[in-house]
Amino acid sequence: MKHASTLLALLLIFASATTTAAVLVEEAGEIPYQVSRADRIVAGTVTDVQAFYNHTIVTIEVDCWLKNPLPAKVITVRTECGTGVWTEDAASFAPNETAILMLEDVDASENRFRIVCGEVGKHPPSERSAILKAISLSDSDLPLRSGDSDDEVVRNPPPNPVEFILPTTDRGLDMDGDGLFDYLIVELAACTSEPGMYYLHGELYVPLGMLEENGETGMTGIGFQIIELATAAVYLNESTQSVSINFEGGSIHNNEINGPYEVKVNVNNETWGFGHAFDHTTGDYEFAQFEQPALLLSGPVRSKGDAIGLAREKAQELGIAVRAVNYTEIRIERAREIWSLDFEGEEFDERFVIHGEDDVEHQTLNGTMKGIPAKGVPAINAAGVIAIVALVCALCSRKWK
């Protein structure tokens, strides 16, 4: 019984430390309720699922927009589950699955969203007709042609007007002289016959080779892992100018995968998403050559020290006691880098997102682990809890025999 008691104690510790749940109203599971609260509704296919400590980024290839369409062909959706935090009602995703999603805008200009109502805001394609009917009964502008309630939104962008001039080069940037790279810089030249602001969305990834899929089809697919995403905003005209996409080093280091890395770049302007523009393969970098920068290349608050100071000022203003910073993330907002800092609080972690010197967002991370979990101690979901319970019961049974 001693071993069983120990395992049961560990079960209670893990379950209470890693699990959180949001409280939803009873109507949250109903389609009309979700439609009325969704900024947009999209049907798409999952192309990548990338888990971080306290969230997951899901990449969706858009099949069609059902409400408030955008020109984007690829979007990302954030869920509040990660390698160290499990949220009970958050939506879960698997590569290559198709779904209809009720979306809340996070930054529509960057094609970043959250799901309305968590798991229940994710629907199978078979519910398309019911969703379209709810949209038609709502007060929202319909993206569908009159008299054809089951038609898809068709928006054909013009050809990409940006000309990229090869070769593309890459280099590591050491900003503080400590021998480690703070950024991986990908550079090339570009011009356009249609002057204006353009946005280059870079995806740094590593191919994982051919992966076999379970099931009756026996199909195989090409696996890959996204290392980092970066966005560059640049005004282009007829003159050729240098353009750089900057991947911060912290994510490269944390993924613990050596190069060479693959780079895929999509392009859009204020009106159209032109899709995939070019690819590039980097040099043979090692992840240990990189570190998270203490000074950002762009953004309203570049210094991490300044960001920590602004967060502590906000905490004092709110009457919140905070201790050490135990997790730092660099996010992209409107093609600018911003700091997201998790401080150890009195009971739960306190998160501060530094949008600007006078714009600091605060959130108490109720129900999450305090600090980054020890290496080798994974988060536990419901299946893990059941497995531990079964193990405890088995040990107890063996002891009693």
User: Residue 135 — pLDDT band, cuts 50, 70, 90?
Assistant: confident
pLDDT tier, 126 (very low <50, low <70, confident <90, very high otherwise): confident
Of 12, 269, 304, nearest to 159 (Cα)? 269
For position 173, what pLDDT does the model report? 97
Q: In this model, does residue 322 exceed pLDDT 60?
A: yes
Instruction: Tell me the average pLDDT across 135-140.
Output: 62
CA–CA dist 395, 247 (Å, integer): 49
Going by pLDDT thresholds of 50, 70 and 90, the confidence category of residue 157 is: low
Percent with pLDDT over 70 in the chain = 74
Greater confidence, 17 or 138?
138
Amino acid in position 307: A
Give me the residue label for tokens 């109203």. Answer: 25
Mean pLDDT of 345-361: 91
pLDDT for 211: 55
Low-confidence winner among 187-201, 237-251, 371-385 (lowest mean pLDDT) = 371-385
Burial 77-107 (b: 16+ CB within 10 A, else e): bbbbbbebbbbebbbebebeeebbbbbbbbe
Confidence band of 86 (pLDDT split at 50, 70, 90): low
CA torsion 181-182-184-187 (nearest 10°) is -110
Cβ atoms within 10 Å of 226's Cβ, excluding its own: 19
Which domains does the chain possess?
27-137 (2.40.50.120), 162-289 (2.60.40), 304-365 (3.10.450)
pLDDT in the model for residue 12: 43
> Taking all residues of the chain, what is their mean pLDDT, rounded to a whole number?
78
Q: Check whether 76 has a pLDDT greater than 70.
A: yes
Identify the pLDDT of residue 83. 75
Q: Summarize the confidence of residues 83-109 as an average pLDDT.
A: 82
pLDDT mean over 275-289: 93
| pLDDT tens-digit series, residues 30-70 | 888 888 888 899 999 998 888 887 788 999 998 888 888 88
Which range among 12-16, 209-213, 225-229 shows the weakest confidence by mean pLDDT?
12-16
Q: How many CA atoms lie within 13 A of 247 on its CB side?
A: 28
Three-state DSSP state, 79 = strand
CA angle at residue 259 from 278 to 220, to 5 degrees? 70
What's the whole-number mean pLDDT along residues 279-303?
Answer: 95
Using pLDDT thresholds of 50, 70 and 90, give the confidence band for residue 21.
very low
Task: Say how far apart CA 222 and CA 260 lie, in whole Å.
Answer: 17
113 pLDDT more than 80? yes
pLDDT confidence band for 104 (50 / 70 / 90): confident
Strand order in the sheet with 336-345: 322-333, 336-345, 349-356, 359-365
Long-range CB contacts (within 8 A, 24+) of 9-12: 10/388, 11/385, 11/388, 11/389, 11/392
Given this model, what pLDDT does residue 275 score? 75
> If you write DSSP's letter for every residue of 66-77 in order, what string do you get?
EES--S-SEEEE
pLDDT score, position 248:
95
- pLDDT band at residue 245 under the 50/70/90 scheme: very high
Q: What is the pLDDT of residue 396?
A: 43
Whether 22 and 118 have beta carbons less than 8 Å apart is answered as yes
